[in-house]
Amino acid sequence: MSTSHDRSGNIAAARLRYVLIDAARADSSYWSDLTYLPIVPERFRAQPELFPILVDIHALGAEGHTKILQRAASSEQQDGVQYIHAFLDAATEPSALAAHLIRRMSVRRPDGVEDVLRFYDPFVFRHLRWLLDVHQLDGLLGPVSQWYWPEPDGMWHSQLRVSDHASLRPLRLTPEQWPTLLRMADLNVALRKLSHLGFMQQHDTSTAQQIDRLLAEAWGGHGMSDRQDRLLFAIQASYYHRHIHKHPVLQSRLNQAATGAMTFVTACADLDDPKMRQLAEELEQIHANQ
């Protein structure tokens, strides 16, 4: 179950016991004086600076939440760095919660390679909510009854554990889920680019799912091995028209790229915004006359 809150997040956050701080990016002056636990997988123990820290807000006293929120505001205003990954609520001690979070970060790819699932990152967690099923998500949360995180648009959201009890199930991703997980970095880049273009639905789950499908189509359907080609393909279809690549002009550019003589980005270099809008309108007229 998920709910949305206002942009400050103050009211809901004040009820939650723990906070995950982005120690990898936030200046250490904002967190080094706090009592914290590093959330670092065993094989990265020598690189704790790459991972978040867990703080028990109750241990900070009555003004703990206020202190955290003030530091978050300072970090964002002065350095432009998001300070908080998430607020968490859990009826367990800090060491037990930290151990759970570390366990859930360790995943094995289908090819057997050990990897790190950075689910604590809001840009990852927001997509895991639609990628994972209810049981997987409960397994990810474990003892966490509520996960409260900021979205890129500034709104705060909360994910509630469905089960009344902490799930002990290990998180096992299916072979079908792994490709989406591995595309997530490209997915977030595409969403940021759409945001810069003024696309109004860039934060919708349906938009993220559509872009993921388009990225998969660019790779599997058109053999685009270049990341920038895949991103352009996905953005064109999301921003201008879902079926823009059925237009003869785009079909020609796809064919040029398929020969390997040039990238798709190069093939589309002369297609500026007015031209792309014209192609989208022509495509609508073609469909209307059929």
Range list of β-strands (E), 112-165: 114-116, 144-150, 156-160
How many domains are contained in the chain? 2
Residue 7 has pLDDT above 70, yes or no: no
How many CB atoms are closer than 10 A to CB 59? 12
Q: How far apart are CA 89 and CA 99, in angstroms?
A: 15
Residue 58: the pLDDT is 93
Tell me the residue range of the domain where 156 lies. Answer: 2-160
Residues 190 and 280 occupy one common structural domain: yes
How many Cα atoms sit within 13 Å of 139 on the Cβ side? 15
Residues 270 and 225 occupy one common structural domain: yes
Q: Does residue 25 belong to any structural domain of this protein? A: yes
Residues 30 and 154 occupy one common structural domain: yes
Quickly state the pLDDT bin for 239 (edges 50, 70, 90).
very high
State whether residue 126 is helix, strand or coil: helix
Residues 151 and 185 occupy one common structural domain: no
Residues 16 and 129 occupy one common structural domain: yes
Residues 215 and 246 occupy one common structural domain: yes
Q: Would you state the structure tokens that stand for residue 44, as one six-digit string?
A: 């990265």
| Beta-ladder partners of 19 | 55, 87
Q: Does residue 167 belong to any structural domain of this protein? A: no
Residues 61 and 185 occupy one common structural domain: no
Q: What is the pLDDT of residues 87-131, one digit of tens each?
A: 999 999 999 999 999 999 999 888 888 899 999 999 999 999 999
Closest by CA to 142, choosing from 161, 128, 158, 121, is 161
Residue 164: the pLDDT is 85
Of 126, 160, 194, which residue constitutes the final position of a domain? Answer: 160
Residues 120 and 7 occupy one common structural domain: yes
Q: What is the pLDDT of residues 248-283, one digit of tens each?
A: 999 999 999 999 999 999 999 999 999 999 999 999
Q: Does residue 170 belong to any structural domain of this protein? A: no
Q: Does residue 165 belong to any structural domain of this protein? A: no
Residues 21 and 151 occupy one common structural domain: yes
Of 160, 188, 218, which residue constitutes the final position of a domain? Answer: 160
Residues 55 and 140 occupy one common structural domain: yes
Q: Does residue 20 belong to any structural domain of this protein? A: yes
CB 91 within 8 A of CB 144: no
Q: Does residue 169 belong to any structural domain of this protein? A: no
Residue 257: the pLDDT is 97
Question: What is the DSSP code (8-state) at residue 44?
Answer: G
| Mean pLDDT estimate for the chain | 91
Of 132, 160, 188, which residue constitutes the final position of a domain? Answer: 160
Is 0.75 surpassed by the pTM of this model? yes
